[in-house]
Amino acid sequence: MSFDLSGRRIWVAGDRGMVGSALVRRLAQDGHDVLAAPRGTLDLTRQAEVEAWVAANRPDVVVIAAARVGGIAANAARPVDFLHDNLLIEANIMAAAAATGVAKLLFLGSSCIYPRLAAQPMAEEALLTGPLEPTNQWYAIAKIAGIKLAEAYRQQHGLDFISAMPTNLYGPGDNYDLESSHVIPALIRKAVAARDAGDAAMTVWGSGTPLREFMHVDDLADALVFLLEHYSAAEHINVGTGQEVTIADVARLIGEVVGFAGDLVFDTSRPDGTPRKLMDSSRLLGLGWRPRIGLREGLADAYRAFQAHDGVRLG
Ligand code: GFB
């Protein structure tokens, strides 16, 4: 299938976030303009505001890149925000998009939708086959509801709503707040601080043994454009690199990238989360898409963005 984005009115909800801004950059490379609500003018958790904005701006294509997101500690600290706000954001946007009759909608989930102990690598069929990882179950339940809601709109109203499940992401525009961020921005910031202070060691949460699959957000943005153009099916589709690394190894690599040669100290009072989270992205690869940015190169770019304060949020 081929869907032409040229001349479409494209709305990237969440265009100021790490994923949304990367997608806007990628769409601009192909010459596409995107609609954007001026900062502070649209609260996506308010149904009436979302309906009014969509009715006034009449997008043809909608990407739901807006979400309450955060790392392992933020998920544990703010379960209501992660469940309630994400349910409202996705439900409001899909309802408004359906009411105005968009040609295509792409919903974004996360690899944490899969069961904690799912067989690895995790294929799309692993959804709802077992219990979730407790540290991010609130976010996962909201994202599973979003996948099912998109599927329901396809089934009941015949709309071209699709869902993509990215693996763990990092890159320019990330959140670097040490308590609420994901692991890569936290460790870049900690490694830079330890290097500058001449510290002998830096602290890494948990045991260092969990495995994660990381993707640079520019690769994700490229995959999302590919999916808008080439994917139309009820089933969600995984977006990963197929490469996994332990937290200890990614911490060492970050040390190398930023020039911190000290030791790692593992703080096991902090949670590990799910032991392993590798996605099976063979469905996407089978359609012909490939990631391009290796982990070392991607980390160097994230460090560059951090140093340049390029979209960096320090909390
Ligand atoms: O990236 P992260 O917070 O999220 O943590 P998850 C990944 C791993 O890195 C965990 C360890 O084992 C952490 O204990 N880690 C080590 C650290 N040092 C640090 C640190 O300084 N900060 C952080 N944050 N982690 C998230 C979910 O799970 O993944 C979200 O909570 C979402 O809902 C996201 O799905 C993609 O990979 O464990």
Nearest C-alpha neighbor of 3 from the set 107, 103, 150, 108: 103
Q: How far does the centroid of ligand 1 lie from the alpha carbon of residue 183, in Å?
A: 5
Q: Quick check: CB of 272 below 6 Å from ligand 1?
A: yes
Distance in angstroms between the alpha carbons of the first and the last residue of the chain = 42
pLDDT at 314 over 80: no
Dump pLDDT digits (tens) for 72-107. 999 999 999 999 999 999 999 999 999 999 999 999
Substitution site in 183, 215, 244, 260 for ligand 1 pocket (most atoms within 8 Å of beta carbon): 183
Dump pLDDT digits (tens) for 27-78. 999 999 899 998 899 999 999 999 999 999 999 999 999 999 999 999 999 9
pLDDT at 14 over 80: yes
pTM for the model: 0.97
**C-alpha–C-alpha distance, residues 94 and 248, integer Å:** 40
pLDDT at 315 over 60: no
Q: Whose CA is nearest to atom 3 of ligand 1?
A: 71
Q: Please, what is the average pLDDT of the chain?
A: 96
- Give me the amino acid identity at 201: A
Q: How far does the centroid of ligand 1 lie from the alpha carbon of residue 143, in Å?
A: 17
Q: Point out the ligand 1 atom lying closest to the alpha carbon of residue 112.
A: 35
Query: Quick one: average pLDDT of 17-24?
Result: 97
Q: Whose CA is nearest to atom 9 of ligand 1?
A: 183
Q: How far does the centroid of ligand 1 lie from the alpha carbon of residue 254, in Å?
A: 15
Cite the active site residues.
139
Instruction: Measure Cα distances from 289 to 113, 222, 255, 284 in Å.
Output: 22, 9, 31, 6
Dump pLDDT digits (tens) for 251-283. 999 999 999 999 999 999 999 999 999 999 999
Q: Quick check: CB of 283 below 6 Å from ligand 1?
A: no
Element (DSSP H or E) covering residue 277 = strand 276-277
Nearest C-alpha neighbor of 218 from the set 239, 203, 189: 239
**C-alpha–C-alpha distance, residues 66 and 246, integer Å:** 28
**C-alpha–C-alpha distance, residues 97 and 93, integer Å:** 6
What pLDDT does 220 receive? 99
% of the chain surpassing 70 pLDDT: 98
Answer whether 80's CB lies under 8 Å from 88's CB: no
Q: How far does the centroid of ligand 1 lie from the alpha carbon of residue 71, in Å?
A: 5
Q: Point out the ligand 1 atom lying closest to the alpha carbon of residue 187.
A: 21
Secondary structure class of 202 (helix, strand, coil) = strand
Q: How far does the centroid of ligand 1 lie from the alpha carbon of residue 59, in Å?
A: 34
What pLDDT does 33 receive? 86
Instruction: Measure Cα distances from 70 to 37, 82, 202 in Å.
Output: 23, 9, 21
Q: Quick check: CB of 194 below 6 Å from ligand 1?
A: no
